[in-house]
Amino acid sequence: MTDHELIQDVRERIMKARKLVFLTGAGISAESGIPTFRGEGGLWRSYRAMDLATPQAFSRDPVLVWEFYLWRRRLISGCRPNPAHEAIARFERSKPVLIITQNIDGLHQKAGSKEVLEIHGSIWRSRCVRCGRRRHDERLEMELPPLCDLCGGLERPDVVWFGESLDEVILRAALDALRSAEVLLVVGTSGVVEPAASFGRFAASHGAYVVEVNLERTAQSPYYACTILGKAGEVLPQLLSLEES
């Protein structure tokens, strides 16, 4: 099959499905200017994940961890959704769409998507480690470390670090959607971080037609129906446009 035939075939399956499910990763926001984690220019190439994205790192040095997240807040605050986020949000006006995202940047919502499961949390929320209170938090500068104004406990970014469990309610909602998905698009994720890495395989084992969109093949590619190589910002508008090309 040529690339064009593959895209037409996937388009037809997308148009026939009653609902479309996406699993997105850092690659979908790369064209917005947000660095990915692995690969060229990736955050974990310059910073050690274990020093910044674990509960142990936060206990050891909450100020350092907060500095890292404030720097990322400032970076993300200057970034806009790109044609990939926008194509999904536009498609959502014609058919139900659920997005399971590993990203904490909020760009799917900014593009207008409504059903978004943020399985690794949000950089735009803080959570008190003592009383558990979560709050919307868009501050780009603050005295560090921030303290909860209810109980005086330490506040942390409301994201999921290595070694932490995903929120049970969100995980259950994601698994339900994957179990019943007809078509799943896995976009811009290297497929190495569990449990999200197994989501595509899980959906495929329950009958979904799983399409991967990535710059390169990944460790998960062998388990999917097909891989479309290319930039998310170029491929998704083609797959999701309502007009024939």
Would you please indicate which residues are annotated as catalytic (active-site) residues? 120
128 binds, among Zn ion, ligand BJW, none (CB under 5 to 8 A by kind): Zn ion
Which pair of tokens denotes residue 82?
């790109």
> How many CB atoms sit inside 10 A of residue 209's CB?
19
CB of 118 to ligand BJW, least distance (A): 10
Does residue 185 belong to the site contacting Zn ion (CB under 5 A)? no
Site string for ligand BJW, 60-79 (x = CB under 6 A): --------------------
Helix (H, G, I), strand (E, B) or coil at 69: helix
Encoded one letter per residue, x for contact with Zn ion by CB under 5 A and - for no contact, window 114-133 reads --------------x-xx-x
Nearest approach, Cβ of 18 to ligand BJW (angstroms)?
26
Residues 158-177 contacting ligand BJW, CB under 6 A: 159-165
Helices (H), the chain: 3-16, 27-30, 43-46, 49-52, 55-60, 62-77, 83-91, 107-111, 168-180, 199-205, 232-240
Question: How would you label 211-237 residue by residue, b for 16+ Cβ within 10 Å and e otherwise?
Answer: bbbbeeebebbebbbebbeebbbebbb
Q: What is the DSSP letter of 243?
A: S
Q: Which parts of 22-81 interact with Zn ion (CB under 5 A)?
A: none
150 binds Zn ion (CB under 5 A): yes
Binding-site ranges for ligand BJW (CB under 6 A): 25-27, 30-31, 36-39, 42, 53, 102, 104, 120, 159-165, 188-190, 192-195, 213-216, 218, 231-232
